[in-house]
Structure 1
Amino acid sequence: TMSGEQEPRSYYVGVDVGTGSVRAALVDQRGVLLAFADQPIKRWEPQFNHHEQSSEDIWDACCVVTKNLRETCWDKAGHFFDLPDFLSWKATGVTARSLCSLVCKWTYSAEKGWDDSFWKMIGLEDFVADNYNKIGNQVLPPGTSLGSGLTPEAAKELGLRPGVPVAASLIDAHAGGLGVIGADVRGHGLICEGQPVTSRLAVICGTSSCHMGISKDPIFVPGVWGPYFSAMVPGFWLNEGGQSVTGKLIDHLVQGHPAFPELQAKATARCQSIYAYLNSHLDLIKKAEPVGFLTVDLHVWPDFHGNRSPLADLTLKGMVTGLKLSQDLDDLAILYLATVQAIAFGTRFIIEAMETAGHSISTLFLCGGLSKNPLFVQMHADITGMSVVLSQEVESVLVGAAILGACASGDFTSVQYYDKKYQVFLKLVEHQKEYSAIMSGD
Structure 2
Amino acid sequence: MDRQHHGNMPYRQPSRQQSRQMSVDPHNEVRVIQQHYIGIDVGTGSARACIMNEKGDIVGLASEAIGMWQPETGYYEQSTTNIWRCICDSIKRAMQQSNIDANSIRGIGFDATCSLAVFREDTDEPVAVTGPKFDNQDGNDRNVILWLDHRPVEETKKINATDHNLLRYVGGQMSIEMEIPKVLWLKNNMPKELFDKCKFYNLTDALTHLATGNETRSYCSVVCKQGFVPVGVDGSVKGWQGDFLTAIGLEDLCQDDFKRMGGVNGVNGHYFTAGEKIGVLSDKAAADMGLVAGIAVGSGVIDAYAGWIGTVGAKVNLKGDSISSDFPKNHVSQAFTRLAAVAGTSTCHLAMSEKPVFVNGVWGPYRDVLIPDYWMAEGGQSATGELLKHVIETHPAFNEAYSVAESFNANIYDYLNEHLREMQEKADAPTISYLGRHFFFYGDLFGNRSPIADPDMRGSIIGLSSDKSIDSLALHYYATMEFIALQTHQIVESMNTAGHVISSIFMSGSQCQNDVLMSLMATACDMPVLIPRYVHAAVVHGAAMLGAKAASTDNDGKSEALWDIMDRLSKPGKAVYPGKDEQEKKLLKTKYEVFLEQIAQQKRIRTNIDEAVKGWKR
Report the TM range for the smaller structure's normalisation.
over 0.9
Q: Which residue of 2 aligns with 1:353?
A: 494
> What pairs up with 1:15-414 in 2 under 5 angstroms?
15-72=40-97, 73-74=186-187, 75-76=194-195, 78-111=198-231, 112=236, 113-137=239-263, 138-147=270-279, 149-186=280-317, 192-195=322-325, 196-286=334-424, 287=427, 288-394=429-535, 395-399=537-541, 401-411=570-580, 412-414=582-584
**CA distance 1:293–1:207, shift in 2 (3 Å):** same
Aligned equivalents of 1:257, 1:3: Cα separation in 2: 68
**Aligned partners of 1:191 and 1:387 also within 8 Å:** no
Aligned equivalents of 1:345, 1:326: Cα separation in 2: 25
Q: Which residue type is aligned with residue 527 of structure 2?
A: M
Aligned equivalents of 2:466, 2:477: Cα separation in 1: 17
Match of 1:316, SS state, is: coil
**In angstroms, what is the RMSD of aligned CA positions?**
2.1
Aligned equivalents of 1:5, 1:135: Cα separation in 2: 50
The reply on whether 1:427 has 2:597 as its aligned counterpart is yes
- Where does the alignment leave 5 or more consecutive residues of structure 2 unmatched? 1-24, 98-185, 188-193, 264-269, 326-333, 543-569
Aligned equivalents of 1:183, 1:62: Cα separation in 2: 27
**Aligned partners of 1:198 and 1:360 also within 8 Å:** yes
**Aligned partners of 1:390 and 1:403 also within 8 Å:** no
**Aligned partners of 1:19 and 1:207 also within 8 Å:** no
Structure with higher Rg: it is 2
Q: Deviations over 1:377-425 (max 9, x none)?
A: 1111011011111122222212252223211123222111110111111
**By how many angstroms is 1:45 displaced?**
4.3
Aligned equivalents of 1:51, 1:322: Cα separation in 2: 38
Aligned equivalents of 1:424, 1:232: Cα separation in 2: 38
Q: Deviations over 1:329-357 (max 9, x none)?
A: 22222211111111111111111111111
Q: Which residue of 2 aligns with 1:12?
A: 37
Aligned equivalents of 1:122, 1:163: Cα separation in 2: 42
Aligned equivalents of 1:340, 1:43: Cα separation in 2: 31
Structure 1 stretch displaced more, 342-351 or 398-407: 398-407
Aligned equivalents of 2:540, 2:506: Cα separation in 1: 15
Q: Deviations over 1:153-192 (max 9, x none)?
A: 2223222222222211011111111222222325x76763
Q: Which residue type is aligned with residue 292 of structure 1?
A: S
Q: Deviations over 1:121-168 (max 9, x none)?
A: 111111111221221122211212233x22232223222222222211
**Aligned partners of 2:273 and 2:370 also within 8 Å:** no
- Where does the alignment leave 5 or more consecutive residues of structure 1 unmatched? none
Aligned equivalents of 2:393, 2:421: Cα separation in 1: 21
Aligned equivalents of 1:44, 1:268: Cα separation in 2: 33
Q: Which residue type is aligned with residue 374 of structure 2?
A: F
**Aligned partners of 2:211 and 2:281 also within 8 Å:** yes
Aligned equivalents of 1:169, 1:220: Cα separation in 2: 25
| Percentage identity across paired residues of the two chains | 35
Match of 1:340, SS state, is: helix
Aligned equivalents of 2:75, 2:519: Cα separation in 1: 34
Structure 1 stretch displaced more, 205-214 or 369-378: 369-378
Aligned equivalents of 1:125, 1:8: Cα separation in 2: 53
**CA distance 1:39–1:277, shift in 2 (3 Å):** farther
Q: Deviations over 1:249-269 (max 9, x none)?
A: 111222222222223222222
**By how many angstroms is 1:54 displaced?**
3.6
**By how many angstroms is 1:6 displaced?**
4.1
Equivalent of residue 417 in structure 1, options 584, 587, 591 = 587
**By how many angstroms is 1:110 displaced?**
2.1
